[in-house]
A and B are shown apart, each in its own frame.
Chain A
């Protein structure tokens, strides 16, 4: 039995554990939230180090991207460096491959992503691969990084401008406490009503809303008209929430295990165990080949 634990800065209300089999190997996969408590996350990581097969870091990114340049998030690095023996991943390695493939899959196998459709990505510096793939597919993009993270009502309309702004801001922003940039702990269970009212129209104007679930959720207005949401991790409660808001279709980039999709960090941790290689030596091709063997496909759900 391989044990994988995802340690998240997010709410412990989303904790979950499943047993599953991947390529004939038994896995116990669990998620443990620390309600935004950084020190608790550090302690938990130290406790797990050497006692599980891989650790996923959730609710925080280790790296944010401006094109091919990546910037390490200081708080994420502190967590990673607490782990000395066990492989630890944040999902960023897999995300680039998995989320690009999700976009290509939707274009090939559905009518949810037609040429010219309007896509709002609530944040793109945490998933540059998806941003590039959507642009490549001819979608009319609105990147909401400044709108939702900084409260600046300026829609970024191209990958080039996103990259230019990211190059200016990420080297410094990644040094800030992560909770200033991303909802952690109980903020994940609530909405920012002020921003919902001020910036909710960007959701209404889009055909497709894509990005990290906690960001998508935090700023989502009601009265949506059947929009498509492409995101990573959802629970049954999340699906109910999206349905109530008027979302028409839900696409999750990671496969479902016992009624919920786990975070990309969890899936990457599982793939690292299956590959048996050092994380630094794993290539996008390794992930792609393994994803094909596992027949990993995005989950497409009509709400």
Chain B
């Protein structure tokens, strides 16, 4: 089981990798979204915010979400650290994403463009 702090660190790593990728900022300049990250096995809630191509995150629910990502703490930490891709947990149901299919696909692409081989 990962801790809230580990999930926080994984999101910091994700934010850093995103911010260092100028192409991703161009790709997402039209995509303003709030993404709620919920761990189901520990008390841990974060919000990722994409606005004008920039990404930031904060602890707790800080805005009404367009997308909600729910999984256990290990998967969330592993995913945002880039140790696993979201595809497999998403396909086997251990990662749930609530939102439109287009937004889910786009979030998946962003993750792959950050961490993909």
Contact = CB atoms under 8 A, between A and B. Distances in A.
A169 B86 CA distance: 12
B5 interface: no
Given A146-B109, A171-B117, A172-B108, A154 B27 contact: yes
Contacts of A172: 85-87, 108, 112, 116
Contacts of B112: 168-169, 172-173
Contacts of B87: 172-173, 175-176
Contact of B117 (A153, A167, A175, A180): A167
A171 B87 CA distance: 10
Given A152-B106, A168-B113, A175 B91 contact: yes
Interface in B74-117: 85-88, 91, 101-102, 105-106, 108-109, 112-113, 116-117
> Per DSSP, are chain B's interface residues mostly helix, strand or loop, or mixed?
helix
A52 to B, nearest CB: 32
> Per DSSP, are chain A's interface residues mostly helix, strand or loop, or mixed?
helix
B27 to A, nearest CB: 4
Contacts of A153: 27, 30
Given A152-B109, A169-B112, 15 more contacts: A146-B27, A150-B109, A153-B30, A154-B23, A154-B26, A167-B117, A168-B113, A168-B117, A171-B116, A171-B117, A172-B87, A172-B112, A172-B116, A175-B91, A176-B91
10 contacts: A149-B105, A150-B105, A150-B106, A152-B31, A153-B27, A154-B27, A169-B112, A173-B109, A175-B87, A176-B108
Interface of B: 23, 26-28, 30-31, 85-88, 91, 101-102, 105-106, 108-109, 112-113, 116-117
Interface of A: 146, 149-154, 165, 167-169, 171-173, 175-176, 180-181
